[in-house]
Amino acid sequence: MTHSLPELPYSPDALAPAISAETIEFHYGKHFQTYIDNLNKMIEDSPYEDMGIEEIVMKAGGAIFNNAAQAWNHDFYFQSLTPVPVEMPEVLAGKIEKAFGSAAGFKTEFIKAAATLFGSGWAWLCEDKDGALSIVQTQNADNPMTQGLKPLLTIDVWEHAYYIDYRNRRAAYLEAVWNLIDWNKVAGRL
Ligand code: MN
């Protein structure tokens, strides 16, 4: 199976100025594409050759895991954004209130987790088997699916996600990207 770069659900300049067309050109067009290309090369004639990306993430280790997980994570991240402001659906708002006290409390905790993640990685909102929500940090390519959690939302905090637009100001990137989250997509993953 040859994997290909999934299409974006918006035009490359639609998220500007929070995420510029130049960042999309590099982050989506080059970094994400490279993970897909590397994955395709690595799985050739391997036990992973006919698996979907999610199955590879759950079963592989090493470089194949890293490239498959980065492919999965980037698709999930880009699919979670929208240029059109979306209000949080009630079913999600209720669960967030239960877990974090309020929507504002959730935002504070999520952004803190994303801002304090040391080095490269991802901040996630996840749901466990009992339906409880939690915020998770992962390093590098790691994905909470391998810990038995269901990802609902992620924000990429690798430097390549924000350096063109924000240089070292990760917190400014997080504040801006927060307004791009498609809460309908997040709720749809519950
Ligand atoms: Mn990235």
Q: Is residue 15 part of a domain?
A: no
> Within 13 Å and on the Cβ side, how many CA atoms surround 162?
23
CA of 101 to the centre of ligand 1 (A): 30
- In this prediction, residues 109-133 reach a mean pLDDT of 98
**Secondary element (H or E) of residue 42:** helix 33-43
In angstroms, rounded to a whole number, what is the distance separating the alpha carbons of residues 143 and 125?
A: 11
Q: Are residues 116 and 140 in the same domain?
A: yes
Ligand 1 centroid to residue 161 C-alpha, Å = 5
* Spacing, Cα 124 to ligand 1 middle (Å): 14
- Give domain status of residue 57, yes or no: yes
Residues 65 and 144 in one domain: no
User: What is the band of 124 on the pLDDT scale with cuts at 50, 70, 90?
Assistant: very high
Do 96 and 75 reside in the same domain of the chain?
Answer: no
CA distance 101 to 99: 6
What average pLDDT does this structure show over 70-82? 98
pLDDT value at residue 28: 98
Distance between Cα 43 and ligand 1 center (Å): 21
Residue 72 shares a structural domain with residue 108: no
Angle of the 170-178 helix axis to the 103-116 helix axis, nearest 10: 150
CA–centroid distance, 188 to ligand 1, in Å, is 23
Identify the DSSP state of 125.
Answer: E
Signed CA dihedral, 112, 161, 53, 63: sign only: negative
Domain that holds residue 69: 21-79
pLDDT of residue 66: 98
pTM over 0.85: yes
Domain of 42: which CATH number? 1.10.287.990
For 96-107, how does the pLDDT look when each residue is reduced to its tens digit (9 = 90+)? 999 999 999 999
Distance CA 118, CA 95 (A): 28
Query: What would the pLDDT profile of 11-65 be if each residue is shown by its tens digit?
Result: 999 999 999 999 999 999 999 999 999 999 999 999 999 999 999 999 999 999 9
Q: What are phi and psi of 23, to 5 degrees?
A: -65, -45
Centre of ligand 1 from the C-alpha of residue 98, in Å: 30
Shared domain for 74 and 151, answered yes or no, is: no
How far, in Å, is the centroid of ligand 1 from the Cα of 13?
17
CA of 119 to the centre of ligand 1 (A): 13
Confidence grade of residue 114 (pLDDT, cut at 50, 70, 90): very high
